[in-house]
Amino acid sequence: MRYTVIALGAILLWPAASATTYVVRPDGVGDFLFIQDAIDAAHDGDAIALADGIFAGPRNWNLA
């Protein structure tokens, strides 16, 4: 019975700890160099934060 409660607790807490926020900065110092790279890596529930500035380059426009 004790192991069932521990396993159930681990299953219920798993989704809450899996969301990630990726930061993309125009100077390339963030988690990714380009916005498209962050989009490609993101999963449901993740967030992408863009720092202030001008994003230039082919992987920073016409995003899909």
pLDDT in tens, 4-53: 444 444 555 555 558 999 999 999 899 999 999 999 999 999 999 999 99
Which residue, 10, 20, 6, is CA-closest to 48? 20
What pTM did the predictor assign? 0.70
pLDDT higher at 17 or 62: 62
Tell me how far apart the alpha carbons of residues 10 and 14 are, in angstroms, rounded to a whole number.
6
Confidence at residue 12, expressed as pLDDT on a 0 to 100 scale: 52
Tell me how far apart the alpha carbons of residues 53 and 42 are, in angstroms, rounded to a whole number.
22
Confidence at residue 34, expressed as pLDDT on a 0 to 100 scale: 97
Q: What is the DSSP letter of 16?
A: G
Question: Residue 2: which residues within 8 A CB-CB, separation 6 or more?
Answer: none
Confidence at residue 14, expressed as pLDDT on a 0 to 100 scale: 56
Number of CB atoms found within 10 A of residue 23's CB: 14
